[in-house]
A and B are shown apart, each in its own frame.
Chain A
Amino acid sequence: MTATETQTETIRVATTTPGPLDYTPQMVPPPEPTDAEDATRKNYLNYDYSLFGWLFTLDHKRIALMYLAAVSVFFLFGAIAAGLIRTNLITPTGAILELDQYNKAFTAHGTIMLFLFLIPVIPGVLGNFLIPLMVGAKDMAFPKLNLASFYVWFFGALFFVYQLLVGGLDTGWTLYPPYSSKYSHTNVLYAGLGIFITGFSSILTAINIIATVHKMRCPGMTWGRLPLFVWAMYATSIIQLLGTPVLAVTVVMLAIERLFGVGIFDPSIGGDPLLFQHMFWFYSHPAVYIMILPGMGVINEVLTCFSRKNIFGYKAVAWSSVGIALVGFLVWGHHMFLAGQGYYLSMVFALLTMLVAVPSAIKVFNWTATLYGGVITFSAPMIFALGFILLFTVGGLTGLFLGTLGSDIHLHDTYFVIAHFHYTMVGGMMFAWQAGLHFWWPKITGRLYSDFWSRLAAIVMLVGFALTFLPQFVVGYLGMPRRYPNYPPEFQIYNVLSTAAAYVQGLGYAMPIFYLTASLFFGKKAGNNPYRATGLEWQTNSPPEPHNFPETPTVYFQPYEYGVKDGLSVVEKLNSGTKSDGAQTKTVGATSDH
């Protein structure tokens, strides 16, 4: 790459003096509260110790913690199901499960991981916690709705898990009729109801986030100054808003058919099972973008902080999030190339799929370019973030095989698909979640965790994950189908390798439980901004006080202004060059050696 690129911006200069909490980049950090002050300073965790105060809280930060606890428990269930699956696949004839039990296990794994972990985790935990902080607001737009959203999700999830345990669900997370409507002997109706209820929460959270970003930004926080995490959450919320209702009505139609024995997908009265697939995938493809976009948002924050560099191409990354959200609604048919879909329709979907791959590629290149010329420290969040880029690249590239019409024929419904989506969802989203959790843990809890153990956990997870799914690409290309508890013996070696690595991966996931919990009791106090990060959330105390900021902040600068000469000097320069209308054209960032 050549020398640094410059961009001109118009900076509106404030007429009042910046206060101590104003967002000025790389400023000398405000004096940390002394221990005496700290003891009396109330934050959102210690201002009220009552149960009532937690169960009926309106504070978005407490709601985020409740999500964190619940999501972690459900993740554990999903992980146990995964363990059962992989252990069973050690032998070609099924090591520990009967056929029925295996079918219930993979259905449980899929539904729990998707609906009860991947979709709610970052919006529910990091989104709820951080968005008001990042935009400078006191709370989300609708705090009571936020709480309601949590309870709706939580009780829907409990109900759903109950159905899985009592009788189970064996249709696969895709619920295709006629199997799910007529032939399955499991709790399709109630499980569908559970999914329907948790979908409501998705919608309500999305409404909250969109309204917050539109209406609750503090003075000076224009759209162009929003952190990219907020852009990503905004795009995610659009998808949730538009897509989830379609899943809801699809599940309702399926439930009607299940309950009454006759319905709109029934071939015997002229119905079409493919209609279900169209309606289902119309949501479920954008759903995978609901899962990954927040993760991408987190990566922006982490990468910039630990390379001390501004994001490369802010506009490109912001718009690519929106582009993925919108174009992602147009590609659902690539799950149905072999289903008997029309010839020309398949071609349209294949073309659009190639188009939706482009924004993701742009992001990856932008992230790599962000690293260039930076000053990189390899903290745990950074290792997770780098792992994200490595693994998501593989996941995204293998998706191209599946989105290409011809090559999907052989790979459809094989382990190649499984490996692809685990690379994007686990290697991508899960790693981004870990990056975010580790990055904002000091902010959320006010404590620092062990550097050594967190980095070790990151590496264990990375190695374990990569080796679990790499053999699955091979065995998928060889033709091993998905959802098979038994398989031809020649595939055994790949399954054994995959299972062995899966145990390593599981160990990796278990490790944060220990050092993060330990940090709560033994960790050093974090202070406002242990990473010297930009972003409004880092300008207030850790853990934040109940209403986030002592007074409403005002924003003057672009996000990610790492490496700018110390803030006060810049403000002086700007003030000296003020024009009559208060605006000034300034070329920012020549060859700065700061």
Chain B
Amino acid sequence: MFAFMETPPILPLQASEFARQYDLLFWYTMAVTMTGGAVVYALLIYCCFRFAKRSEADRPMRILGSTKLELIWTVIPLFFFLSFFVWGVRVWDYAINPPKEASDREYFAVGKQWMWKVQDPEGLRHINELTVKVDTPMKMTGTSEDVIHDFGIPAFRSKFDVVPGRYTAAWYIPRFTDKAKGGIETHHLFCDQYCGQGHSQMVGKVHVLSAENYENWQAGIFRSTDKKKPVDGSPAWQGRILFHKLQCNGCHFNQQVGDPSPKAPSLEMIAGTVREMADGKRFTADDQYIYNAIRNPSMHIRTGWQAIMPAFHIGLATENDLYNLTQYIKSLRNGDLPYRTDKSPAPIGGAPKSSQGTAPAPATKEGGK
């Protein structure tokens, strides 16, 4: 119940270029106001001690005012307040005028009770998640489907209201902070305008990725959260649909209780690993390997497996399909391989329908897994 395990944060992270500029203004304002406050406090406390009543004979001074002092303590605060204004306008100007590079990469957010629908320039869609590339200017445009919400990212020091019936926008250049590890850093996304019951549930994550991770993420290979599926719209996402449509999961499935043992190797985490073939050769599972394994499986029969996989020639799967499937397979992490359902029939163009059990096939070796 009490998260005393970690030291609580004192200062927010500076995860964008604007955050750095913002913090300079903030701390300047803080310095001036704290100094002014300290002066007042010091004077007050001094007066309370020095002029406390000590005896009945004490008499007060008779001071009615001083125009000079009034002017001094009107002009000096005014000067500092105007300095806040001027610097504030400069910071404001930076924050709300996206440069051209930012406008070229436009993200779109739609707020609705109670979720954020976010779409990136390439069309990949997420709910309550924003994934961006580090050091790259980007613009975020928003609107609302129902009531007024606010798209706020404290680590970027940015927020803007999203209003139904119009578009509003902000822009960022995400940066890594010292705490970033492994080319990914995650920050909070909040809804900052009260919008009803789920206002506090309308929170999400902002993932800042290194350039390489971002490429992989766009392909659907790199996933910034523990979701089982690749991001909506990515090649890997489309590959996943194909994986089911072409019924690859008829043989390549995650075994559950009650399932027969899989007839095909697990495809999880195979990208880049070295695979041993039945004939003793070794291949690295790169994109070409996967491609060949789908187009012409008999080229690479793995040790311990039978050569029962049908070949998916161009009529069954286009080159684009194959690209998507490859990205999907590369994206598979432990536990991501889909399960088999009762409705999973035999794979296309392959062994007879009764191949759920043993599968006699030409020129194969019997064997275990």
Contact = CB atoms under 8 A, between A and B. Distances in A.
Given A361-B77, A373-B51, A378-B52, A486 B22 contact: no
A545 interface: no
A307 B48 CA distance: 9
Interface residues of B, number: 88
A313 B66 contact: yes
Contacts of B99: none
Nearest to B64: A7
Given A369-B63, A477-B12, A479-B188, A350 B89 contact: yes
A366 to B, nearest CB: 8
Contact of A354 (B4, B60, B81, B193): B81
A496 B2 contact: yes
B63 A393 contact: no
A409 B84 contact: no
Contacts of B199: 103, 483-484
Given A272-B165, A377-B53, A413-B159, A179 B196 contact: yes
Contacts of B90: 406
Interface in B1-48: 1-4, 6, 8-12, 22, 25-26, 29-30, 33-34, 36-37, 40-41, 43-44, 47-48
Contact of B51 (A362, A371, A562, A594): A371
Among A373, A377, A398, A406, max chain B CB count under 10 A is at A406
Nearest to A493: B8
A461 B78 CA distance: 32
A588 interface: yes
Interface string B88-122: 11111011100000000000000001000000000
Contacts of A588: 62, 64
Nearest to B19: A410
A358 interface: yes
Given A376-B48, A474-B10, A478-B12, A338 B65 contact: no
A404 B96 contact: no
A581 interface: no
A103 B25 CA distance: 34
B91 A99 contact: no
Among A170, A375, A490, max chain B CB count under 10 A is at A375
A183 B66 CA distance: 57
B88 to A, nearest CB: 4
Contact of B91 (A4, A316, A406): A406
Contact of B60 (A365, A374, A386, A481): A374
B201 to A, nearest CB: 7
Contacts of B192: 412-414, 481-482
A340 interface: yes
B87 interface: yes
B146 interface: yes
B155 interface: yes
A358 B12 CA distance: 31
A273 B63 contact: no
Interface string A301-328: 0000001111011111000000000000
A562 B154 contact: no
A70 interface: no
Contacts of A174: 194
B70 interface: yes
B154 A273 contact: no
A487 interface: yes
B324 to A, nearest CB: 36
A403 B77 CA distance: 15
Given A354-B81, A492-B2, A563-B60, A412 B159 contact: yes
Interface string A554-594: 00000000111000000000000000000000001111111
Given A390-B44, A401-B29, 14 more contacts: A4-B63, A91-B1, A307-B51, A314-B65, A343-B96, A357-B81, A372-B63, A373-B51, A375-B51, A390-B41, A406-B87, A413-B152, A477-B12, A492-B8
23 contacts: A92-B3, A99-B201, A103-B199, A183-B147, A272-B165, A313-B65, A346-B92, A354-B78, A357-B81, A365-B69, A368-B43, A368-B44, A374-B51, A375-B53, A400-B29, A400-B84, A407-B26, A407-B84, A409-B22, A409-B92, A490-B9, A492-B3, A492-B8
